[in-house]
């Protein structure tokens, strides 16, 4: 960290007239600070315009390629004499491209944060594109356009636009991570207070292209992390000078639970005066903090959890559609595996091939989850639910192989198809175990706010079987807070490639 000269503060007994003189002294620094922020705003605008221009070009090219593949290429349908030409479709293409582009603009997909991480907008983009093209077809039917719009053309265009825009956004995100651009666009952040949150913020921002950790300001708590010693900027009463001197953009208060109301208000007012974004760690909300949103109840401002991604009806429809398609394909592909391993299980341990186990689903609703039996018939002869363990003597020989490669789980495609489960989500637990966990494991029930999944964020990171419940719950809650369609595809891909070491 570079060495900065000490901050000169104004003594408490200075006459009232001196703040005016002090402001005069600070004018050059203020102008420099305003210049930094102005340049950052300008570059953010340039990036947003670049992204918008690229999106519009990809949308137009998507329509053109869809038209060519459907009408002119001869690869799908034979080319006839009466086939429309591109000039005949140009007005319709311009209208469709305008509708899709207007949809993207209306959803605010051009923030610097979204440009850095295109996966964050993937599900929103798919939904906007699908709705706009559906409306495009509906409009053409109502207005009776000439020539009529081919539905196959719209389907091809949907694919080319989705591929083109996402590829362009991915390329742009790589360009924006260039060090020269990062220095111009990265916001500067200061944390007010020491503690585990401060150290976590510092470590997480080590390689961040969005924000730069400048340092921390003393609060009420002593610094217990030696790694933070070199980043101490001063005390709380110097906050205004610190924010000004270090050209801070964002200040995060981590000690809201130890400061009195006046102290929190003081920090907020100093940030407002210095045009710095004020944020606060919500200590009273230990989970689902990304869903916290302000609202008004009876004329009183309140803060609550009501805006998780899967609470949105359109996201649930999108996820359910993928579940139905994926489960249908999965059942067809898994049928030979079920037959082969069902025979092997029966040969080693005669009895039912399938094992139906009661599990707890969304909002605690019970359902029967299907698996290919991997243990002996008397595995739970005592009538009690037990954790599977390493080298479990109850396990069949073929069962060890199935559990290692998740083959025993494939009948759960049926649970997904009928709506008990999802392809991706927190793994369902047995109700007998949940009755104990919900009293002993903090925030355990939060994972039941969505449908359980065949695989999940916790499972691809090794949190399955007889592993740490704390790690599993933390991973499940992260998934609930950060769900998007691309994340589901990513988890499914990693599940297929991952050789699980499950007990």
Q: Could you tell me if 175 and 200 are in contact, meaning their C-beta atoms sit under 8 angstroms apart?
A: no
pLDDT digits (tens, 9 = 90+) for 397-432: 888 888 888 888 999 999 999 999 999 999 998 888
Listed residue (83, 70, 89) closest to 158, CA to CA = 70
Report residue 452 as tokens: 């359980």
Q: Which carries the bigger pLDDT value, residue 474 or residue 422?
A: 422
pLDDT of residue 41: 74
Element (H, E) at 135: helix 122-143
Most confidently modeled of 4-18, 54-68, 232-246?
54-68
Q: How far apart are CA 254 and CA 218, in angstroms?
A: 11
Q: What is the pLDDT of residue 1?
A: 41
Strand pairing class (292-297; 300-305): antiparallel
Q: Which two tokens stand for residue 332?
A: 């067809």
How many angstroms separate the CA atoms of 189 and 202, rounded? Answer: 10
* Cα–Cα separations (whole angstroms), residue 388 to 90, 353, 439, 463, 465: 63, 19, 22, 13, 6
Tokens of 74: 């001869």
CB within 8 Å of 392: residues ≥ 6 apart: 375, 503
Question: Distance (Å, rounded) from C-alpha 207 to C-alpha 212?
Answer: 9
Q: What would the CATH number be for the domain defined by 186-284?
A: 3.40.50.720
What tens digit of pLDDT does each residue of 320-376 get?
999 999 999 999 999 999 999 999 999 988 888 998 989 999 888 899 999 998 888
**What do you get for the CA distance between the two ends of the chain, in Å?**
47
Please enumerate in sequence order all residues whose Cβ is within 8 A of that of 96, keeping only pairs 6 or more positions apart, or say none.
Answer: 63, 132, 133, 136, 157
Residue 34's pLDDT band, with cuts at 50, 70 and 90, is low
Cis peptide before 147, with omega less than 30 degrees from 0? yes
Q: Which two tokens stand for residue 392?
A: 């479990």
Contacts with 129 (C-beta within 8 Å, 6 or more apart), sequence order: 100, 103, 158, 161, 162
Where in the sequence of the chain do the CATH 3.40.50.720 domains occur? Answer: 186-284
Please check the confidence at residue 23 and state whether its pLDDT lies above 60: no
Q: How far apart are CA 160 and CA 165, in angstroms?
A: 8
Mean pLDDT of the chain: 79
According to the model, what pLDDT value does residue 123 have? Answer: 79
Highest mean pLDDT among 25-29, 56-60, 133-137, 403-407: 56-60
Question: What are the residue ranges of helices labelled H in 186-238?
Answer: 196-204
Of 94-108, 206-220, 249-263, 291-305, least confident by mean pLDDT is 291-305
Q: At what angle do helices 397-404 and 313-348 cross, to 10 degrees?
A: 160
Contact present, 176 and 188 (Cβ < 8 Å): no
**Res 10: pLDDT:** 39
């Amino acid at each position: 960290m570079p060495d900065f000269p000490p901050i000169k503060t104004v003594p408490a007994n200075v006459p009232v007239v001196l703040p005016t003189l002090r402001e005069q002294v600070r004018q050059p620094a203020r102008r420099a600070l305003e210049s930094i922020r102005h340049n950052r705003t300008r570059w953010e605008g340039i990036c947003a315009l670049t992204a918008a221009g690229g999106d519009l070009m990809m949308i137009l090219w998507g329509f053109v390629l869809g038209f060519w593949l459907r009408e002119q290429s001869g690869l799908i349908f034979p080319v006839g004499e009466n086939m429309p030409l591109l000039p005949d479709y140009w007005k319709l293409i311009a209208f469709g491209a305008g509708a899709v582009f207007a949809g993207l603009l209306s959803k605010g997909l051009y923030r610097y944060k979204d440009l850095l991480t295109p996966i964050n907008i993937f599900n929103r983009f798919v939904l906007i594109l699908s709705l706009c093209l559906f409306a495009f077809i509906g409009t053409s039917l109502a207005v009776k356009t000439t020539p009529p719009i081919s539905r196959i053309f719209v389907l091809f265009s949907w694919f080319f636009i989705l591929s083109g825009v996402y590829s362009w956004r991915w390329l742009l995100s790589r360009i924006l991570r260039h060090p020269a651009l990062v220095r111009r666009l990265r916001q500067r952040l200061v944390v007010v207070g020491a503690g585990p949150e401060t150290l976590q913020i510092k470590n997480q921002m080590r390689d961040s292209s969005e924000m730069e950790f400048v340092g921390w300001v003393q609060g009420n708590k002593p610094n217990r992390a030696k790694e933070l010693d070199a980043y101490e900027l001063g005390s709380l009463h110097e906050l205004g000078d610190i924010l000004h001197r270090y050209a801070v953009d964002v200040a995060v208060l981590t000690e809201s639970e130890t400061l009195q109301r006046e102290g929190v208000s003081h920090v907020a007012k100093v940030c407002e005066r210095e045009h710095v974004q004020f944020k606060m760690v919500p200590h009273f909300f230990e989970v689902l903090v990304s869903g916290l949103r302000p609202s008004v109840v009876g004329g009183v401002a309140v803060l609550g959890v009501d805006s998780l991604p899967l609470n949105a009806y359109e996201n649930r429809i999108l996820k359910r559609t993928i579940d139905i398609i994926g489960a249908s394909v999965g059942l067809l592909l898994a049928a030979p595996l079920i037959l082969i391993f069902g025979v092997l299980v029966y040969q080693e341990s005669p009895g039912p091939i399938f094992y139906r186990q009661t599990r707890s689903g969304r909002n605690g609703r019970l359902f029967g989850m299907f698996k290919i039996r991997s243990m002996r018939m008397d595995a739970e002869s005592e009538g009690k639910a037990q954790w599977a363990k390493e080298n479990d003597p109850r396990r069949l020989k073929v069962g060890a192989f199935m559990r290692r490669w998740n083959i025993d789980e494939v009948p759960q495609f049926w649970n997904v198809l009928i709506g008990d489960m999802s392809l991706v989500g927190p793994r369902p637990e047995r109700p007998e175990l949940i009755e104990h966990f919900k009293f002993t494991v903090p925030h355990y029930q939060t994972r039941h706010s969505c449908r359980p999944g065949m695989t999940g964020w916790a499972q691809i990171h090794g949190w399955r079987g007889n592993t740490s419940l704390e790690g599993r719950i933390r991973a499940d809650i992260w998934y609930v807070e950060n769900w998007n369609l691309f994340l589901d595809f990513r988890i499914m891909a990693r599940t297929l490639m991952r050789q699980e070491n499950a007990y």
